[in-house]
Amino acid sequence: MARVAAIDCGTNSIRLLVADVTASDDGARWLRDVHREMRVVRLGEGVDATGVLSPEALARTRAALVDYTNVLRRKGTERVRMVATSATRDAANRAEFFDMTREVLGVEAEVISGDEEARLSFTGAVADLDAADGPFLVSDVGGGSTELVLGSWDGVRGSVEAARSVDIGCVRLTERCLRSDPPTAAEVADAVAVASEVLAEAFAAVPTAKANTWIGVAGTVTTLAALARDLPTYDPAEIHLARVGVDRIREITERLLTMSHDERAALGSMHPGRVDIINGGALVVRTLAEHLASHGITELVASEHDILDGIAFALS
């Protein structure tokens, strides 16, 4: 058994998982959570427009990493891996970010490709599912990018057939198109057109028609699942592996698009850091849902396990 730590620094949030990994002689591995935490730091705030990480965003991320480093010491972590995704790939001043993470955490943060990000998400997402329900399509809607990966799972290891990352996510789409609160009909139409155009690249690369089960990971999807179940507060145990029909996704998205900032903030299961960007994320998920419905997939399985779990598995 090894105690490992995974850190995922995305466009909107930075997340930590400390877990014990147990491996059997036949190669099967299990994770036992020791500590799981998420902070909304908005590292990618404004990157789409300016091309640089702002000093404020870097300071927020540094503060979270200082706290995470203290957790690693208290928990006696043996190995740690930190990955950085869309925002750092795009920023002209990314060296400032990597200098800061090296100083605070003591290890190099890795910029992983969109395809590797998708594969790690797949591994984390499918581990709790019945292999007979495959092939699986895993979608990871982040702040600045969305990953699709198609593959199978035999109960021990995953096999990826195709994966693609494209530059659309909840922060990027909101900043680009949804400027009013609530957004105007014209802004929503523009956002749908942008999401559809960008996701078409992923659909061309990943044969989604082969999928039998659609799994969604990351905060947009889990928030939509919480809203679909009318949860008074966010409860990961209730959300993990919850199923949300395509019609319900449409219904929730339409509802969110008519709500003001304060009305969205008043929803008990809405994280404060998602209030401003949930509409962009919901439109990406709805666009995915419409496409997959045309292939006969009528529901989304929400997973609380994702790239963090995949990174932890890779450390074992």
Where b means 16+ CB within 10 Å and e means fewer, 27-44 reads eeeebeebebebbbbbbb
**CA geometry: angle 172, 176, 178, nearest 5 deg:** 105
**Quick one: 99 and 67 in the same domain?**
yes
Q: Which of 85, 113, 141 is the last residue of a domain?
A: 113
Q: Which of 113, 139, 167 is the last residue of a domain?
A: 113
**Quick one: 244 and 144 in the same domain?**
yes
Determine the 3-state secondary structure of 9 from DSSP. strand
pLDDT at res. 131: 86
| 315 found inside a domain | no
Structural domain harbouring 80: 2-113
**Quick one: 104 and 138 in the same domain?**
no
pLDDT at res. 244: 96
Q: Which two tokens stand for residue 6?
A: 């995974």
pLDDT at res. 86: 62
Number of H helices, E strands in the chain: 13, 11
**Quick one: 137 and 270 in the same domain?**
yes
**Quick one: 13 and 132 in the same domain?**
no
CA pair distance 191, 284, nearest whole angstrom: 9
**Quick one: 151 and 90 in the same domain?**
no
**Quick one: 102 and 123 in the same domain?**
no
Q: How many domains does the chain have?
A: 2
Average pLDDT per 10 consecutive residues for the chain, totaling 316 residues: 90 90 69 90 84 93 97 95 80 91 92 76 86 92 90 80 91 93 96 96 96 94 95 92 96 96 95 93 97 95 90 83
**Quick one: 46 and 187 in the same domain?**
no
Determine the 3-state secondary structure of 52 from DSSP. coil
pLDDT at res. 315: 82
| Maximal CA-CA distance, the chain | 58
CA pair distance 312, 135, nearest whole angstrom: 23
**Quick one: 18 and 59 in the same domain?**
yes
**Quick one: 162 and 277 in the same domain?**
yes
User: What CATH number does the domain containing 199 carry?
Assistant: 3.30.420.150
| 316 found inside a domain | no
- In the chain, alpha helices (H): 47-50, 55-75, 86-90, 94-105, 114-126, 170-177, 185-205, 219-228, 236-239, 246-257, 261-265, 278-293, 307-315
pTM of the model: 0.80
Determine the 3-state secondary structure of 222 from DSSP. helix
